[in-house]
Structure 1
């Protein structure tokens, strides 16, 4: 069993094949979204989830893929003509959750609010959007339609559109002290070392998440594959000797303070086996992480 990784399904060539290879090697969590694989990712995962009830799954709300927009408009849940393809109103969230449950064949363990900063520049306006979304998700969790909820963001935390304390406060406003806000998902990698440097100094998103008791799903740990071509022998040695380039890059994310799971997409069992080998190594020490930051920069 491997609890330090989660199988991501973003940009997978074959969602079922990739996730199956991960599960065969002991990965117990799969992360997906309605808009992944041109809107087919959730349906593709159902046979695997049916066969593996022990595997947990997270999905998302927010982006409505082109294949679903006509149905969403007919249901009256997609405002502004669906031009943006992104909606976090209560009715749209409820509609997407029902669709995801049907496609996955089960209640998702976590539902992430997907890039709530998308297309928005007004922090006050975004705060209202998040409040409505959290109220809808609290209702869904109370009704047993989802296990819990979180926020998956690409840039919302790094660009200051919202903070972990603000998200926690919004959850408390929506659900009281026993709210169902459980996790955040954002990039942590050699390409995003500022968040690691902040955590080592006891502040920033990772430190705030740990203080709030939130699970952190580190996304883009290999930079969408970009990092593999940049992993020189010298850089690998700075991180730790006797590992593959992929393992060295992944160790940085795995070792970042506050990270619960690292999201990874891999196409073949061989790629998965190599990557998962990173979990066999000890986490990098604070001193080693600081050395990596000094060499690579933030």
Structure 2
């Protein structure tokens, strides 16, 4: 079965966010992904009316990145930020972000909270910081403030900062039981960022290891910020993947066909693009043999 479409809100302008969320609410298996720093810190408040109108619409947010104001407040309070960033996994800041998210989103219980790009932390601090973060998230899960939590990473796996087994082990230690609430993983999966896709086609790598544990895998940046639409040779690759499809539709189909991927996040304010993406994912998954052939073509100089 192919993965389903979900709305990512990172690249959507404030004036279009509510309409995009309304479209997402009508999807066959809706899901909205956001973060407290998106839309200049306004994403939660802008999404709240849509969430109020759709009480069962699932929503995920994140913890880690701070708005400029929150970063200044954290620095003034002596709370540490990752060097050169507005990023922190300090327990006090995680608690604050979760409470703000519940208030701003208008939800007593958030469906998922992702630890956002933990690889920003220095390597010698990373696993200890994740343990502290997971412990806070377990507390909030036990209190009914969130259903589950996850890790959203860009290069944590490709830079060998952690493995799925590491994350599972840390969550086990933080919860004091193997029955922890770490249930989600988000990472880039595309024909550009294709490492995880190639590994999954061989039954290896983070997507396979997460899916084997029953975690929900969310593929981010399936069009790599729009780069794939202008890819050299993209027309030929699209014909290999799905004859007659546009480059974007074929690229989305490739990501959605990755074994173990459950949701494909796209960030678009345009009704046409959203509907095209829905249609692209309505087809049966592409055969692994076709995906492997396309990855070999892309790897050929």
So what's the TM-score if we normalise by structure 2? 0.92
2:145 paired with 1:151: no
Deviation at 1:77, TM superposition (A): 7.4
Question: In 1, distance between residues paired with 2:119 and 2:276?
Answer: 34
2:4 paired with 1:12: no
Deviation at 1:22, TM superposition (A): 2.5
Q: 1:194 to 1:73 in 2, by over 3 A?
A: closer
Question: In 2, distance between residues paired with 1:171 and 1:88?
Answer: 15
Question: In 2, distance between residues paired with 1:4 and 1:143?
Answer: 30
Contact 2:3 2:257 in 1 (8 A): no
Of stretches 79-88 and 28-37 in structure 1, the one that deviates more from structure 2 is: 79-88
Question: In 2, distance between residues paired with 1:145 and 1:58?
Answer: 12
Q: Partner residue of 1:282?
A: 284
Q: 1:281 to 1:77 in 2, by over 3 A?
A: farther
Tell me the secondary structure at the aligned position of residue 102 of structure 1.
Answer: helix
Tell me the secondary structure at the aligned position of residue 183 of structure 2.
Answer: strand
Question: In 1, distance between residues paired with 2:214 and 2:82?
Answer: 39
Tell me the secondary structure at the aligned position of residue 178 of structure 1.
Answer: coil
Contact 1:221 1:262 in 2 (8 A): yes
Tell me the secondary structure at the aligned position of residue 85 of structure 2.
Answer: coil
Contact 1:46 1:104 in 2 (8 A): yes
Say how many residue pairs are matched. 294
Question: In 2, distance between residues paired with 1:80 and 1:141?
Answer: 25
Q: Pairwise CA RMSD of aligned residues?
A: 2.0
Question: In 2, distance between residues paired with 1:102 and 1:82?
Answer: 29
Q: Partner residue of 1:127?
A: 127
Please list every run of 5 or more consecutive structure 1 residues that lacks an aligned counterpart in the other structure: none
Contact 1:186 1:217 in 2 (8 A): yes
Contact 1:239 1:248 in 2 (8 A): yes
Question: In 1, distance between residues paired with 2:163 and 2:129?
Answer: 15
Contact 1:8 1:31 in 2 (8 A): yes
Please list every run of 5 or more consecutive structure 2 residues that lacks an aligned counterpart in the other structure: none
Tell me the secondary structure at the aligned position of residue 117 of structure 1.
Answer: helix
Contact 2:7 2:33 in 1 (8 A): yes
Contact 1:193 1:297 in 2 (8 A): no
Q: Return the match for 2:253 from 251, 254, 259.
A: 251
Contact 1:6 1:261 in 2 (8 A): yes
Q: Identify the structure with bigger relative contact order (alpha carbons < 8 Å, sequence gap 6+).
A: 2
Q: Partner residue of 2:89?
A: 88
**Following superposition of structure 1 onto structure 2, how do residues 188-207 of structure 1 map, counting pairs within 5 Å?**
188-207=189-208
Q: Partner residue of 1:63?
A: 65
Of stretches 180-189 and 124-133 in structure 1, the one that deviates more from structure 2 is: 124-133
Deviation at 1:202, TM superposition (A): 1.6
Question: In 2, distance between residues paired with 1:191 and 1:81?
Answer: 28
Q: 1:225 to 1:27 in 2, by over 3 A?
A: farther
